[in-house]
Structure 1
Amino acid sequence: MKALVEHIVKALVDQPEHVQVEEVQEGQTLCLRLTVHPDDIGKVIGKQGRTAKAIRSVLIAAAPSQYKRVRLDIVD
């Protein structure tokens, strides 16, 4: 899942070398923390959060069945 998020986000941003994803398992929830360069945060979120919502939808569809929830946090 970490590699999937990195691949998607690196294609969106201007500075892909600053993309970092941290994967944390909290029970049956998979939490992914995404950190990007401050100049690229708007590109990852998108207008009215549409890009972030689309990334979350892909993650939910690709998540292994062992996780009941998948959460993507975009950190400054």
Structure 2
Amino acid sequence: MKQNVVEYLKQTQDKYPNKIAIEDKNGEISFSSFYQKALYISSNLFKFSNPPPPTHSHIKHHKLSPQKTHHLPTPNHIF
């Protein structure tokens, strides 16, 4: 049984790697390529987010300095 979208996508790309996953007027992408791009994007999302504030009341809250913005180059093979 598929538990979530990631598992569904993984199982689908394993079964139909060359079938078209997404198609529009500009082109198409296979399930295999779509899965690889989804992994790339999701694995880099945390680099762009601020850490969540502490939730424990016994932890003192300190003002955090702004984080530097990370800019990742987009590999040519991704888009």
Instruction: Tell me the TM-score normalised to structure 2 length.
Output: 0.24
* Higher RCO (CA-CA < 8 Å; seq separation 6+): 1
More strand by share: 1
